Amino acid sequence: MSSTPQATAAPAATAAPATVRAPATVAPGSAAAASGSGRERLPIELCKGINGLDKIVLREVRGSSAEVYLYGGHVTSWKNDHGEELLFLSSKAIFKPPKAIRGGIPICFPQFSNHGSLEQHGFARNRIWSIDNDPPPFPTSTSAKAFVDLILKPTEEDLKIWPHSFEFRLRISLSPAGDLMLTSRIRNTNADGKPFTFTFAYHTYFSVSDISEVRVEGLETLDYLDNLQNKERFTEQGDAITFEAEVDKIYLGTPTKIAILDHEKKRTFVLRKDGLPDAVVWNPWEKKAKAMADFGDEEYKHMLCVEAAAVEKPITLKPGEEWRGRQELSAVPSSYCSGQLDPRRVLLGS
Ligand code: TA6
């Protein structure tokens, strides 16, 4: 249901998109020019998006695609090979710093939510990232040929509010099957020997047909902190999670796989995560939806946030140390009743 932002959207893309085989400065045949698998990378498209903000488009040969804004290192679109949008983006999203873009996949760093002294969800989501022209070798072998490496380092202003030097490398990639992977590598580059501590989330907005028809599997019987009850700790009941009111829960120590079943669309999102022990589930429902200026009153019916996160146990890095947090999203056609994809089998299977 997400539709291209209209209200405050500035004119559509102006400058003709530039197609880049690999970042200009990367020597053909070098590690960066090749995907982890050594096979040639697919071209990435650099263009102007809403309000003239720089946008990167990744396309996979079978037709799936993803769009990423350098503003926030923010994925705003992920389409399957039928061109169907899989992420929710509010029709009222504001593409103007310092407001974070409402929808897609905001990156919450170095602070999740208001668990600390910084602004809500930290500052990475409202900073301008750069294309990482010469990233260190990618830690894992991957078949993805459509990918882009982004990098964020603190500005002088950032150091005043969070006095730590870091390098945040983010690889966004599309697999041949159209799965969307986000891999974050955060390194402490403090020269003063000081460690730093942070919390983190991929604040993913999934597009769903009707929230009242959605079930989440994989979080049953887990403990969670309820953000609507002063972060009090509770234990989830045994069945799949369904939605009939506002929800804002941080599930602790979850399995590495979570399934989001959209019954009406016969589609199951499978979220696989690594280095991110927690998962946040959020839907603002009616009242909060009306209170958010950059969110349509009815849009809560067509989105669900399920966020791979590290919140309960903040991550501490000494100088020179690096943390990695990865999420992989797949959207599989599912016909729940035909058992083609029984989520329990998905969660237990490979
Ligand atoms: O991830 C859930 C949450 O922390 C909720 O409490 C709600 O505030 C949501 O994020 C959206 O936050 P935002 O700062 O983007 O309005």
Reply yes or no on whether 217 is catalytic: no
Rounded distance between C-alpha atoms, residue 105 and residue 87, angstroms = 8
Contact 68, 74 (CB under 8 A): yes
Distance of CA 96 from the midpoint of ligand 1 (Å): 18
Measured from the CA of 121, which atom of ligand 1 is nearest?
14
With CA atoms as reference, report the closest residue to 242 among 209, 208, 213: 213
Specify whether 321 is catalytic.
no
> Distance, CA 112 to ligand 1 centroid (Å)?
9
Domain ranges of the chain: 45-347
d(CA 77, CA 277): 25
The pTM assigned to this predicted structure is 0.89
- Positive or negative CA dihedral for 239, 87, 180, 332? positive
CATH of the domain spanning 45-347: 2.70.98.10
Question: pLDDT tens, position by position, for the chain (350 residues)?
Answer: 343 433 344 444 444 555 554 444 444 444 444 444 455 788 899 999 999 999 999 999 999 999 999 999 999 999 999 999 999 999 999 999 999 999 999 999 999 998 889 999 999 999 999 999 888 888 767 778 999 999 999 999 999 999 999 999 999 999 999 999 999 999 999 999 999 999 999 999 999 999 999 999 999 999 999 999 999 999 998 889 999 999 999 999 999 999 999 999 999 999 999 999 999 999 999 999 999 999 999 999 999 999 999 999 999 999 999 999 999 999 998 854 444 444 455 445 54
Phi, psi of 320 (to 5 degrees): 90, -15
